[in-house]
Amino acid sequence: MVRLSVNINKVALIRNARGQNFPNLIQFAKDCESFGAQGITVHPRPDERHVRFSDLEPLKECIQTEFNIEGYPSRKFIDHVCRVKPDQVTLVPDPPGVLTSNEGWDTIKNASFLKEVLEEFKSNGIRTSIFLETKQEMLEGALNSGTDRIELYTGKYAHEYSENPEIAIENHILISKLASQYKIGLNAGHDLNLKNLKYYSDNVVGLKEVSIGHALIADALYFGIQNTIGMYLRLLKG
């Protein structure tokens, strides 16, 4: 079964809007796990507009499943992640001020940078993943970087899914087969939701984990967080 990691950034965004600890981010993470989530993902950004760097250690202490921290590997980010030591770190090429992660790494242009950063994380016992477009040359660059996993950017797939699912997913299937041949772990995330998730997980080869935040939290406004997590888990069971 593909693991579901719930991204709780939007919960932190709501908390920060009033300057109080409500909703309680730590309790929400615990509740997500008790409702069946197999991981918790956070993405602390430089402006800390949702998850803050100060949230990382309390979350690490309470999370019983898998803790995934994603973000751009600035020196501040690297230092915090190496101190907290989550189960996984996912590197995304977000410059400061970007609204959301909307593209993968150029693993050829950034080859030396990525390799150096990944080595530092791995020396601290942290599994590594790189946010990636569905391009063979970028996969090969990721392989050369020494990363443990890649996370395929699914925003374009989600955007094109309603028009033609087969065309929308074809590159993801190709890259997933190559990743399996190269023996590199495969995650996926961005704009996956109740409409497009099952088709994706049923067709992509060797998918280990999906990270879902915005759509899942939005669905929870209607269905409740416990019901929503259950709905997503049922789609991933195939």
Domain ranges (residues) in the chain: 3-236
Query: What pLDDT was estimated at residue 103?
Result: 82
Q: Which residues are catalytic?
A: 43, 70, 190
pLDDT tens for each residue of 27-41: 999 999 999 999 999
Could you report the per-residue pLDDT of 67-77, keeping only the tens digit for each?
Answer: 999 999 999 99
Q: Which CATH code, of 3.20.20.70, 3.30.300.30, 3.90.1150.10, 3.40.50.300, is assigned to 3-236?
A: 3.20.20.70
Question: For residue 94, what pLDDT band results from cuts at 50, 70 and 90?
Answer: confident
pLDDT in tens, 82-91: 999 999 999 9
The 3-class secondary structure across the chain, one letter per residue, is: CCEEEEECHHHHHHHHHHCCCCCCHHHHHHHHHHCCCCEEEECCCCCCCCCCHHHHHHHHHHCCCCEEEEECCCHHHHHHHHHHCCCEEEECCCCCCCCCCCCCCCCCCCHHHHHHHHHHHHHCCCEEEEEECCCHHHHHHHHHHCCCEEEEECHHHHHHHCCCHHHHHHHHHHHHHHHHHHCCEEEEECCCCCCCHHHHHHHCCCEEEEEECHHHHHHHHHHCHHHHHHHHHHHHCC
